[in-house]
Structure 1
Amino acid sequence: MRRVKIGFVSELFDGPHATPKKTDSGPVFLGISTLNNGRLDLSSVEHLSEDDFPRWTKRILPSEGDVLFSYETRIGQVALMQAGLRCCLGRRMALLRPKSDELSSQYFVYYYLSPSFQEYLRCRTIHGCTVDRISLTDFPEFEISIPPIFVQKSIAHILGSLDDKIALNRRINQTLEAMAQAQFQSWFVDFDPVKAKQQILEAGGTAREAELAAMQIISGKDPRQLKTFQQTQPQQYAELEHTAKLFPNRLVESELGLVPEGWEYQRAEKIADIGIGKTPPRNESQWFSTNSNDIKWASIRDMGESGAYIIDTHERLTTASVEKFNVRRIPQNTLLLSFKMTVGRVAITTEEMLSNEAIAHFNLNAKSSIGTEYLYLYLKSFDYNSLGSTSSIATAVNSKTIKEMTVLVPTSSVSARFEMGMKPLFDEMLVRQKENSSLIETRDSLLPKLLSGEIDVSSLEINS
C-alpha cells in the first residue's frame, strides 16, 4: 500500500461552466443529480442537440472508465462512466481519467465513497455564501492510498459484484412496480373494463358480450386467444370471468367527473387515520441517533432512496425524544406521503417507525375497502398540482389539504380482487428490497476493511 497524490495517477478535467440549450432528444447532458453513489442514474436526464455537442465536449469527451464527481453542492457524490453513452459534462461536475496501469477506475470510485475519504472531503470543503465546493486546483494534490493494480481490481471485483446484484434487484422491482401501475391505470384511472362493457351494451350487445369484452381488456387477449385460454386453463379462465363480472356496466357523473357506477370519491381522512411527523430541535443533538437500538426516523431523503417500501433510515430518534416531543409512532404497513418541499414521494413502512413533519402517515382504518397497495399506487399517480393554486405546490400543501384529498374508492369486491393480484408483486418487491438492504450492509462493512488491507485479497484470482 502506498500514498500517492491523485494528480500523479490520473488526469483531471473540468466541465463547462454553463448550460446548453435543452432538446427533447440527442446526446445526454449530465447534471450532478445523475451521480448516485458510484453509478449514473439516467432515469431522468436532459439532452442537447447534435449541433451543440462538439462545443460542449471541446474540453473533454467522457468515455468508459472515467470517474465523474461533483465539486459543488453535492460534495461527495461520484459515478463511474459507463460504456456506450454519448454525453457531455454538466455544470459543477469534473472528470478524472485514471492512468490504467496505476489506478483502477472502479477502485477509485469505491475509495471516493469510503467513510475516510468522505470525511477528508468534508474537511477540505470550502463553505461559500451560496454553495459549498472543493477546489479543483487543489484536488490533484489530495492523497490516496493504493495497493498494486491487481489488488485494486480484486477489491473492485468483490464490491462490484455486490453492487451488480443490488442494481439487478432494483431493475426487477422497477419492472414489477411498472406492471402494478399499468394495471392500476387501466382499472382505476382509464376505467377500461367498464368502458368496454358500456360500449358493447350501448351498441345493442348482450350482457355476455359485454362481459367477454371486459375479459379481453383485463387479460390482454383477443377472442381467439381467450377461447384457447378457456380450453387449456379452465380454472384461470373462470377466475378471469369472475373478475370481469365485478366491474359495473357504465360510467356515471360525479363531482369529479365520470366514475364507474357504485364507486365514489371519499376524503382521505374518512378512509385512514392521518398523522404528521415531527422533528426535535436540531440544535439539541442528544435527541438524534444512528444507534440501531433507537427508533428509525424517516425523512424525504430516505423516501427518495427507498423503493415501494422504506426499510432503512439515515437517522433515528431516541426513546426519550419521542416521549418528550410527543413524536407520533407510525405502525407497520402504513403509507407515507411527503407533502412539503418535495411533494408526492410515497412509501410503505415495514415496521414501527417515525418521520419528520414533512411526511404524512395514512393508516387505513378497519372500515376502508381499499388496501395499502391500492393507496400506494393511487398516491403515486395523483396529480398534486390539483391541491394548490400557488406557483409553488410545495408551499400550497399542508396537513389540512392532505386530510381533504379525495381518494377514489371502488366497490369492496373489485378492491379485494385487485389486492389479490397485487400481493404477489408487492411481496416480491419487499423480498428484493430486504435482500438489497442486507447486501448494502455487507458492502459497506467490507469497504473499509478491503481498502485498508485488513482483508487480504492479493491471492484472489479474477477473470479479466
Structure 2
Amino acid sequence: MSLVKAPIKDFALGIYDGPHATPKEATEGHIFLGIKNVTPEGRLDFSQIKYVSDEEFPKWTRRVTPQAGDVVFSYEATLHRYAVIPEGFDGCLGRRMGLVRPDRTKLLPRYLHYYFLSPIWQRYLETKVITGATVNRLPIKDFPSFLVTVPTLSEQARIVEILSAYDDLIENNRRRIQLLEESARLLYQEWFVHLRFPGHEHVKVVDGVPEGWRNSNIADFASVKSGYAFKSSDWQESGNPVIKIKNIGNNYDVNIDDCQCVNDNIAAKASRFELQTDNLLIAMTGATVGKIGFMPRTNTKYYLNQRTGVFVPVDKDLTLYLFCALAADTSQSMIDNLAAGAAQPNISGKQIESIPLLTPSTTTLNAFIEAVKPAFAQRQTLIEMNGKLAQARDLLLPRLMNGELTP
C-alpha cells in the first residue's frame, strides 16, 4: 500500500474550531453540536439537543457552517470524539468542537473518520495533549500541523468499504434493538395504560383500576440503591471500571467502554456495589436524570458510582416490567417533576420508589413478562453480536491504517 505522511492541512480545504461561548437558550432552531452529541463509537446522538435560534444562528456560523462530509472532533475536556456530518444537518459547532473539511480529491471523509478512530491517531494525539488543572485539551491552533498517514484514494475507498460493512451491520442491529424495545413499551402501554390486557372485556374497572389489581408504587417491585461514593482522588486510567451517570445512554444501554477506573483496594471497599448482568440502572442527577439502561453481559467486574442507581427487584423477572414502566412518558415526566427545583436536577432512591405503579393480577403480570421475554432475549443476542462485530472491526482498523493488511 502506498502511504503519504504529511500535515493534515495538506489534505483539507479548511480546519476550524467552534465558538468559545454558549448561545442563549432556545426551544427550537438550529442544532448546537456539542461533545455530548458525539458518541465514543463515532456516531452522532441527537437525543439531547441544545438549539440556536434563527436570530442568533448567523453569529455562531461566522467561522464555518458544518456541511455534509465534514469531520467534527472534540479538542478539550472529553477528547477522542469524532463524527461525520450527515446530509441535511442544520446546525453549528458547539464549544470545544472542531471541524476538518477534507479535500475529497485527496482524502475521503469516511476514511478520515476511521483514521481518527484508530489507535494510531489516538496514540499520536496523546503526545500533543496539554494537561490542565481542570481539563485536558489539544492546542487547536497546532491541529493543522498534526501529521496523518494517507494512502491513495482507491485504497482509502477500499478500506472504507471493508470497515463500513461492519458498521452497517452494527447499525442495522441497533435499529432492530430499538424496534424490540419499542414493541415491549407499546405492549406495556396497551395493557397497563389503556387497560386493554387479555380478557379485559370480562374484568370490571373500579376507579380506574381493574378488579383484582391495585394502585401501588415502584417500592412494591424493587428498591433503588445508589452507588459508592468514590473520591476524585480514586480515579485512574486503568484498573477496575466504574459505571457513572455519563455511561447511561439515551437508548437504554450502558456504555462499558468509556469508564474511569479504581485500584484493587478501592474496589474491595466498594464490593457491595459490584454490578451484575441485566441490572437495570438509572441516572439520578444532572441533565440525563431518569435515563435508564441495562447492564450488558461481561466477564469484567464493574462497580456503581454514587448518584447512579440500581434497581434491586423482589423477583428478577420484574425487571422487565420495571423497565417498560420507567420508559413510559408518564414515569419520565414524574421523574422530571420530582427532580426539579434545584440548580441541578436530582432525585433520590426513595423518590423513585414512590413513583406510582399498578400492581396487576398475578396472571396478567406473568403473562406480560412471558410476552416480552423473547424480545429482550433477542435484544441481548443482538447486543452481543454488535460487540463481536465492533471487536472484529477494531482489530482490522489499525492493521488497515498502518499498511499491515492490504485492502
TM-score higher than 0.5: yes
Contact 1:278 1:356 in 2 (8 A): yes
Corresponding residue number in structure 1 for 2:367: 417
Residues 386 and 30 of structure 1, relative CA distance in 2, 3 Å threshold: closer
1:121 deviates by: 2.8
After superposition, give the CA deviation of every residue in 1:322-371 in whole Å (9 maximum; x if it has no partner).
555433444444322233455323223455854323333323224x9x72
Per-residue deviation at 1:394? 4.6
Aligned residue in 1 for 2:323: 376
Contact kept in structure 1, 2:234 and 2:266, CA below 8 Å: no
Q: CA deviation at 1:109?
A: 1.2
* 1:375 CA displacement: 0.6
* Match of residue 14, structure 1, among 12, 17, 26: 17
2:32 is equivalent to residue 29 of structure 1: yes
Post-superposition offset of 1:69: 1.5
Aligned to 1:446: 396
Q: Does residue 1:356 correspond to 2:307, yes or no? A: no
In structure 2, relative to structure 1, the CA distance for the partners of 1:385 and 1:289 (3 Å cut) is same
- Rounded Cα–Cα distance in structure 1 between residues aligned with 2:143 and 2:255: 36
Cα deviations across residues 276-295 of structure 1 (Å, max 9, x unaligned)?
Answer: 443666756799637xxxxx
Unaligned runs of 5+ in 1: 194-213, 219-242, 253-257, 291-295, 458-464
**Higher deviation after alignment, 171-180 or 429-438:** 171-180
Per-residue deviation, 1:80: 0.7
State TM-score, norm by structure 2.
0.82
User: Following TM superposition, by how much is the alpha carbon of 1:419 offset from its aligned partner in structure 2, in angstroms?
Assistant: 1.9
Q: Does 1:119 align with 2:123?
A: yes
The code of the aligned residue for 2:396 comes to L
| Cα distance in 1, alignment partners of residues 343 and 232 from structure 2 | 26
Q: State whether residues 275 and 304 of structure 2, in contact with CA within 8 Å, keep that contact through their aligned partners in structure 1.
A: no
Partner amino acid, structure 1, of 2:204: N
TM-score normalized by the length of structure 1: 0.73
8 A Cα contact 2:273 2:304, kept in partner: no
> What residue number does 1:224 align with?
none
Q: CA deviation at 1:443?
A: 1.4
Mapped partners of 2:393, 2:129: distance in 1 = 26
Q: What does residue 192 of structure 1 align with?
A: 194
Give the direction of change, closer, same or farther, for the CA distance of 1:6–1:312 in structure 2 (3 Å limit): same
Aligned residues: 394
Find the aligned partners of 1:128 and 1:321 in 2 and give their Cα distance.
Answer: 26
Q: CA deviation at 1:372?
A: 1.9
Q: What CA distance in whole angstroms lies between the structure 2 residues aligned with 1:65 and 1:304?
A: 26
CA distance in 2, matches of 1:43, 1:53: 21
Is the Cα–Cα contact under 8 Å of residues 311 and 437 in structure 1 kept in the other structure?
no
Aligned partner letter, 1:301: K
C-alpha displacement at 1:142, in angstroms?
A: 0.8
Q: Answer whether contact 2:33 2:50 (CA < 8 A) is retained.
A: yes
**Pair 1:441–1:126, CA change in 2 (3 A):** same
Partner of 1:347: 293
Question: 1:105: Cα distance to partner?
Answer: 1.4
Look up the equivalent residue of 2:173 and give its one-letter code: N
Query: Kindly tell me: are residues 98 and 427 of structure 1, through their superposed partners in 2, closer, same or farther at Cα, counting changes over 3 Å?
Result: same
Comparing both chains, which one has the higher relative contact order based on Cα–Cα distances under 8 Å and sequence gaps of 6 or more?
Answer: 2
User: Paired residue for 2:342?
Assistant: 391
Please tell me whether the aligned partners of residues 23 and 48 of structure 1 are also in contact (alpha carbons under 8 angstroms): yes
Closer/same/farther in 2, CA of residues 287 and 28 from structure 1, 3 Å limit: closer
2:381 maps to what in 1? 431
The 5-angstrom pairing of residues 89-168 of structure 1 reads: 89-128=93-132, 131-168=135-172
Counterparts in 2 of 1:325 and 1:192: CA distance versus 1, 3 Å: closer
CA distance in 2, matches of 1:121, 1:313: 19
Q: Is the CA contact (8 Å cut-off) linking 2:249 and 2:255 kept in structure 1?
A: no
User: Which amino acid is 2:248 matched to?
Assistant: M
Distance in 1 between residues matched to 2:236 and 2:47, nearest whole Å? 38
Cα offset, 1:75, TM superposition: 2.1
